[in-house]
Amino acid sequence: MGYVGLPLARLFATKYDVVGFDIAHQRIKSLQKGEDGTLEISKDQLQKVMKQKNDRKIGLFCSAQLDDLTDCTIYIVTVPTPVDEKNIPVLEPLYSASRSVGTYLKPKDIVIYESTVFPGATEECCVPILEAVSGLTYNKDFFVGYSPERINPGDKTHTVEKIVKVTSGSTTEMARVIDELYKSVITAGTHLAPSIKVAEAAKVIENSQRDINIAFVNELAKIFNKLDIDTHAVLEAAGTKWNFLPFTPGLVGGHCIGVDPYYLAQKAQEVGHHPEIILAGRRMNDSMGSYVAGEVVKLMLSKEILVRNANVLVLGLTFKENCPDVRNSKVIDLIGNLKEYGMGVEVWDPLADRHQVKSLYDLEIYYKVPVTRYDAIVLAVGHEEFKMLDLKKIKKDNAVVYDVKGFLGDKADKRL
């Protein structure tokens, strides 16, 4: 019941009887109160579909009890698929969810996976678990589908029902059944892929393509900085051509763009191909935290600001703007590199969950505007709340302001 599962469950609950299951008991308690910490679904939207277990035929019942899955006939798996510290795909959440579903799987049931995986993972990794736990036979007793999630966290325009849904199934007949299921709630329509592997591959290349394109403009930013050219001005000029792709430089993290290329890369290596472009893009984007920290230090030195023991404020910690999700945020890399220069770093993010930040990164953050005056301010994430910020109140007279996102306009001394 996270960024992907909750919006989908709420949407299905407008027409079907839905159980929203999550192993996080506190998350379920919050949802039962109509509170969504991800900020994807409003309290009003939740209250319209929420129901008690046996309240009415359609609606959403949220639970952390596995036994509440007993009567389900269609299971949709939306667990995260991260990578480890060596960027190796971690499929244990997917395996665990498959074991849970397999326990309750009955003849004629359907299991649909939405989590991002490498091509072949659904049938090669998940189906054997379903068979082993349930004792049922694939494509005889139960069926499987894959419909990749396309949620864009924090985006209130491109919500789940307004994004075309790619669907697929393990048999021709089941593919049509699954396609009709999604078509019944997705107003943007669906695209029925010819196989599960095609649908898996389509998903993993979507974010890999974005990652490579952003890596390209990040490299441009490094080049143009050496040439003393404003990268954003270059991109604005080039963008006047109808077919120029509008990507901007920045820190590329999160649980999709910063992760999915590694899933494709691993599968490519398994079949004997070394993915040069994909991994080169990842290396470029992974280097940006160190690069930005170095640029901030150069800017400080140009103003004769002592770097060691300088007080720096980083604006934003989440992996993207107007979203509370801090998983795999590359702002952490930036903070770590600034600290390596001997600077004291403080972080203000009005959206990030301080408990999650403490748990994931052992870091304390500000929720409100700090009262300290800083030697340097680095805008890392373009939250709307930062637009009204009066930088003069929190920076020293000779302080530097570095804008990673090109968000602050002429308030910044320099932008990436």
* CA-CA-CA-CA dihedral for 352, 353, 359, 365, to nearest 10: 60
Which listed residue (62, 72, 256, 323) is catalytic?
256
CA distance 20 to 68: 9
- CA nearest to 349, candidates 377, 372, 317, 387: 317
Residue-by-residue DSSP string for 108-145: T-EEEE-S---TTHIIIIIHHHHHHHH---BTTTBEEE
CB 113 within 8 A of CB 144: yes
Q: Is 378 helix (H, G, I), strand (E, B) or coil?
A: strand
CB 188 within 8 A of CB 161: yes
Give phi and psi for 251, each to the nearest 5: -90, 120
Q: Which residues pair with 143 in a beta bridge?
A: 110
Q: How far is CA 65 from CA 20, 131, 172, 342, in A?
A: 10, 22, 34, 48
| Alpha helices for 184-259 (secondary structure H) | 196-226, 231-238
- CA nearest to 316, candidates 362, 349, 361, 358: 349
Annotated active-site residue 256? The verdict is yes
Q: Which residues pair with 273 in a beta bridge?
A: none
CA contacts within 13 A on the Cβ side of 220: 18
Who's near 140: CB < 8 A, 6+ residues apart?
A: none
Active-site amino acid positions = 256
